[in-house]
Amino acid sequence: MQLRWAQRTILSWATALIILSYVQALPVGLLKCLKNIRSRSESSLVTPSSPLYDTNRIGFNSYFDHRPRAIFHPASEEEAASAILCAAANHVAVAPRSGGHSYEGYSSGGRNGSLVIDLSQFQQFSLDRRNNIATIGAGTRLGHAYTRLWENGEYLIPVGTCPSVGVGGHGLGGGIGVVGRKHGLLTHNILSMTMVAANGTIHTVSPASNPDLFWALRGAGGGSFGLVTEFRVQAYEVPSPVTTVILTYKPDKMGAVLSAFAKQGKIATEDLSATLYIDKKKIEIEFTYLGSQAQMQGAIDPFIEHIGEAPFQTEFEEGTWFQAATRWGQRAGSTLEAASIGNMTFYHRGRSLFYRDLLSEDEVGVIEKYLQNLPKEKTWGYILIDLWGGKIDRPSEPSAFDNHKGVLFSIQFDIFWSSPHPPTPGFACEACLKWSADFVKEMQSIYSSGPILEAYQNYIERDMPDAFQAYYGDQLPRLRQIKKSVDPRNVFRFPQSIPLP
């Protein structure tokens, strides 16, 4: 075991002692213990008796109706550490929350009775322009990260396009966006982190300090090992110009579009990213190119030739990186700022599979069948396919994401439904849940990309068969050993957290 906990610095022990004295006589009841911290600080505490409890406990997906014991918003690492010790002393599970976008509601604990530690006060940002390193608080939303990086000298970090997703969960589970093929995932670009461990100690986690934990956090870090409060991330100067285009086809071209996506995607330039959106009525291929429209045309022509037909609608936009980011934000809300706050209510079920090659005809047939047979309720069902590859397969440091090297694309199977008025947490559309489960089960049963199912851990799914294998491949034994060394009492736990050996 490379983690040398016995050699932790004197500073680290001193911090633990200060925190222990801060928490005072343990164990006391959880709420009393948390109130003790709250009374001396800028932290805030939301308990079941608080009027804010019902809005504060729900994340992005209102389908999940978990009832945490409390939601604590620490203002510093020391206060977060105190809260973790309160939970540990009372045998309460800790669930970190950054942006609240977990597909299974795991940042609310994934079940009743956890202590949610919400990092929304961790919004720190700075940019070292000599070394192009951004320091970002874990509670920062992607939209705010885009804005701060742009305003501090026109930089970017590789992240997804949805502005309300949190840097914390996103970076610890992967993080693919439009520069992923050029610069890798967010997780690959993390240079070091600050993490509060289950025993209340505060660590710098980097290749030089805690290399095993550094490996594990980047790919398997969401909610299993400790609370990450800050990331130091490789930043890049933005390319100029940036061009986006949406090519729209009729649904009957699905086989040809999927074939072009897989075949041309394998050889496409890394300056090009591609996402395919397919619903009952249309197919949209959204390309983003790190260059001009004229340059982009040469990169997308092979896709159109392969499809054998021009799209019936084409929308090009050439502009700055930030204009492109703003457009993505506008699709998710009114402005990038409003979309970054992300206070809308959604009811959603999402699942995923990774593919290493072209889909079989049977798989295309199953997709057609389910998209043409959506539930009768008011729903929005679709699939979203992201092209992977490029730098994602050549990370500069090994990480717990590496079993997915060589993946060609991911498919997300998504369905949203509306709720009665007023919005009701936990409201289920049974037909939608069945549609989603049946669709993915059928796709899994004819999976063409190998004998073992593979899926994206950032689209975590409770029903995924052999989920640890699908997310982490053969790396689970190593992850479990690291879990034991850093959280031997399993304080950080949720239904799919890395288990103790």
- Positions touching ligand FAD (CB under 6 A) are 59-60, 95-103, 106-107, 119, 138, 160-162, 165-166, 168-170, 172-177, 221-223, 227-228, 458, 494
Q: Rounded to the nearest whole angstrom, what is the least distance from the CB of residue 186 to ligand FAD in the complex?
A: 8
56 or 366: whose CB is closer to ligand FAD?
56
CA nearest neighbour of 84 among 501, 493, 491, 484: 491
Q: Rounded to the nearest whole angstrom, what is the least distance from the CB of residue 120 to ligand FAD in the complex?
A: 10
35 or 484: whose CB is closer to ligand FAD?
484
Q: Rounded to the nearest whole angstrom, what is the least distance from the CB of residue 95 to ligand FAD in the complex?
A: 5
17 or 344: whose CB is closer to ligand FAD?
344
Residues present in the chain in total: 501
Q: Rounded to the nearest whole angstrom, what is the least distance from the CB of residue 255 to ligand FAD in the complex?
A: 26
Whole-Å CA distances, 99 to 22, 75, 89, 107, 143: 28, 16, 27, 9, 11
Cβ-Cβ contacts under 8 Å for 50 (sequence gap 6 or more): 56
CA nearest neighbour of 458 among 179, 175, 213: 175
103 or 261: whose CB is closer to ligand FAD?
103
Q: Rounded to the nearest whole angstrom, what is the least distance from the CB of residue 157 to ligand FAD in the complex?
A: 13
Q: Rounded to the nearest whole angstrom, what is the least distance from the CB of residue 172 to ligand FAD in the complex?
A: 5
15 or 61: whose CB is closer to ligand FAD?
61
d(CA 448, CA 444) in angstroms, rounded, equals: 9
How are beta strands 70-73 and 115-118 bridged, if at all?
parallel
Q: Rounded to the nearest whole angstrom, what is the least distance from the CB of residue 56 to ligand FAD in the complex?
A: 13
Q: Are 220 and 498 in contact (CB under 8 A)?
A: yes
Host H or E run for residue 128: strand 125-128
CA dihedral 456, 457, 461, 462 (to 10 degrees): 140
74 or 223: whose CB is closer to ligand FAD?
223
**Given its phi and psi angles, is residue 116 left (phi above 0), alpha (psi -120 to 50 degrees) or beta?**
beta
Cβ-Cβ contacts under 8 Å for 205 (sequence gap 6 or more): 192, 193, 194, 195, 213, 214, 217, 228
3-class secondary structure, 347: strand
Q: Are 491 and 200 in contact (CB under 8 A)?
A: no
81 or 227: whose CB is closer to ligand FAD?
227
Q: Are 205 and 213 in contact (CB under 8 A)?
A: yes
163 or 311: whose CB is closer to ligand FAD?
163
Q: Rounded to the nearest whole angstrom, what is the least distance from the CB of residue 103 to ligand FAD in the complex?
A: 6
